[in-house]
Structure 1
Amino acid sequence: MASGRVVDLVNLTADDIHWPDIVAALSRLARFDGATGNCFYVVAQHCCIAHDHAGDDPTARLLALLHDAHEGLIGDITTPTVALLQRLDGAVGDDAKGLVDFAKRRIDAAIFAAAGINATHADTYRRLIHALDARVMATEIRDVLTPSHRPETWGQLAAPLTTRIKPWGADKAAEEFAARLGLYGIDGRGL
């Protein structure tokens, strides 16, 4: 971690979550494995956009902000990578996608607990957050990615947001993500 901390991902607890490390990692972690044309667009900004479009429910907004926080610990396992793992499932005899999802949920449970959210309660928002994430991704495809020579690769996309995305860069993304954490009494700056 940026702070020098080491965590045991297998036995992760809420006490292991150091918010400044999450902020640092997400603000430096490129969305789409960095395949964003001529800009640097990071997971922290993606999460802030989701937060800002999650409506008025504070729990929904916080969950939208944290929906990819596990990536601060395990990286962004991209959709094409998950698709590759799914295709290889039969060859290795395991449920690779299920394993990735299980790992993310375990890490999410520790992160949510550190944020004061019960993981079971968070499950009630899963569909809402998934739909919002799909809209943000459709917006990113429109605004941040170089147009694809094979647009069918994306399949049927959700309706994009009406606002346009202008990439912030790492420093502003860290500031903005930490500021949003602060709205919920979470110190993302380590002050």
Structure 2
Amino acid sequence: MNIFSPTLAIVSQKGPTIMLASGKRFDLLDPSGSDFDIDDVAHGLAHVCRYAGQCRKFYSVAEHSILVSETVADFAYEALLHDAAEAFIGDITRPLKQLLPDYKAIEADIEEAINERFGLSKAAKPVIKEADLRVLAAEQMQVMAPECADWAVEAGIAPADITVRGLLPQQAKAEFLRRFSDLRP
């Protein structure tokens, strides 16, 4: 039974769902049972701005994911999809995430569904984490307020050799899908 609430603008099936740009529905409490594909992921990531939009120019999670993927020697496929859950739940800042334990559980379930759907290796996590931090340090120097990336110097993290281009959503989606096609096992 579908229940529509104009106040919440959600349709509930098994759990709260969101309508994807493709017309499919994504159930936040049953991500594995939801019908989604790489186009849905690419579209969502291309339209989500990093840093809660508080950067000097638009910078999508899709472009970030491409850069992390290009930074690693191994696990480039997994690196491309490391933030894929954000296609469905947005890019929540770390300080806010720490205040939302339910959010973190939902995110973990979505990540697991993505891992299963696309056959991602869990062994990739430490490699991707290091690359993600290096890209984070470099991108913050390029798109955030001055001194935002001082934490990286203090932590001894060498910024990745990347250039943030500020791709428009359509460009970011196309490049993300092209990289996915090149890397998919």
Normalising by structure 1, report the TM-score.
0.77
Tell me the SS of whatever aligns to 1:7: strand
Deviation at 1:66, TM superposition (A): 0.4
* Overall identity of the aligned pairs, in %: 29
Q: 1-side partners of 2:63 and 2:180: how far apart? A: 13
Q: Does 1:80 align with 2:99?
A: no
Q: 5 Å matches for 1:1-191?
A: 1-13=20-32, 16-37=35-56, 39-55=57-73, 57=74, 60-83=75-98, 85=99, 96-97=100-101, 99-117=102-120, 121-122=121-122, 124-148=123-147, 151=150, 156=155, 158-185=157-184
Shift, 1:21, TM fit: 1.4
Q: 1:152 to 1:137 in 2, by over 3 A?
A: closer
Query: Between Structure 1 and Structure 2, which shows a larger proportion of strand residues?
Result: 2
Query: What's the offset of the Cα at 1:156?
Result: 3.2
- Structure 1 position 155, deviation (Å): 6.5
Counterpart CA distance in 2 for 1:154 and 1:76 is 24
Distance 1:28 1:19, change over 3 A: same
| SS of corresponding position for 1:125 | helix
Determine which structure has the larger helix proportion and give its number: 1
1:42 positional shift: 0.4
Structure 2: give runs of 5+ residues left out of the alignment. 1-19
Q: Cα–Cα, structure 1 residues 106 and 69, in superposed 2: closer, same or farther, change >3 Å?
A: same
Unaligned runs of 5+ in 1: 86-95, 187-191
Distance 1:44 1:159 in 2: 22
Aligned residues: 166
Note the aligned Cα RMSD (angstroms): 2.5
In the alignment, the residues of structure 2 paired with residue 16 and residue 76 of structure 1 have an alpha-carbon distance, to the nearest angstrom, of: 21
- Mapped contact 1:134–1:157 kept (Cα < 8 A): no
Aligned with 1:21: secondary structure? helix
Q: 1:11-37: per-residue Cα shift (whole Å, max 9, x none)?
A: 111762222111111001000011111
Letter in 2 for 1:127: P
Amino acid at match of 2:170: D
CA distance in 2, matches of 1:181, 1:152: 31
CA distance in 1, matches of 2:160, 2:169: 22
Q: Distance in 2 between matches of 1:101 and 1:176?
A: 28
1:23/1:174 contact within 8 Å kept: yes
